[in-house]
Each structure stands twice: as structure tokens, then as C-alpha cells.
């Protein structure tokens, strides 16, 4: 299953089905292709906008990562650019 085409990642479905119920969504990153390439590996190897940014753009509240400092810095850089 590819998360990029899974119905739960459709922004409209995400908002209606998860956020409306007060839910949060957690994504496990790791050695599996669970995140369709939008993961830690992509992010720390120089493309955080395609990794963590893709998840943030779709409203993911929780991102499980082994790279907490790097994710925090990336998140801060996105917030400062608005």
C-alpha cells in the first residue's frame, strides 16, 4: 500500500474523518516503505520538504522520528518563512 494514494491521506478525508473527531495521526518511519518515501531518510538526506514537509502539508500532527532535533529545526524554519 502506498500512503500517497491511500484515501486517509486525501486532505479532505483527513480533515473530515480524523480532525473532526479530535483524532491525531501517527506515522511510523523506519526501514519500511510505509510513508511512500516521505520519511526520515528522504528528509535527512537533503529533501525535508519531500519528507516531513509533505506530511505537514497534509496536516499530520505527529511524526515519529529518530531525528527529533532535525525535524524540530525544519519545522521552525517552515514557521519562520510564513
Per-residue pLDDT, 17: 61
Counting as low any pLDDT under 70, the low residues of the chain are: 1-4, 6-9, 11, 13-35, 82
Cα 76 from chain centroid? 15
Sorted by sequence, the CB contacts under 8 Å of residue 11 that are 6+ apart come out as 58, 59
CA dist 30 and 69 (Å) reads 17
Sorted by sequence, the CB contacts under 8 Å of residue 75 that are 6+ apart come out as 52, 56
Degrees, nearest 5: CA angle 75-58-46: 45
Amino acid at each position: 500500500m502506498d500512503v500517497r494514494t491511500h484515501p486517509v491521506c486525501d486532505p479532505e478525508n483527513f480533515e473530515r474523518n480524523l480532525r473532526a473527531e479530535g483524532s491525531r495521526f501517527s506515522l511510523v518511519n523506519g526501514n519500511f516503505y510505509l510513508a511512500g518515501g516521505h520519511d526520515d531518510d528522504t528528509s535527512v538526506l537533503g529533501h525535508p520538504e519531500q519528507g516531513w514537509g509533505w506530511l505537514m502539508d497534509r496536516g499530520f500532527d505527529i511524526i515519529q522520528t529518530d531525528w527529533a532535533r532535525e525535524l524540530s529545526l525544519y519545522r521552525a524554519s517552515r514557521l519562520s518563512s510564513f
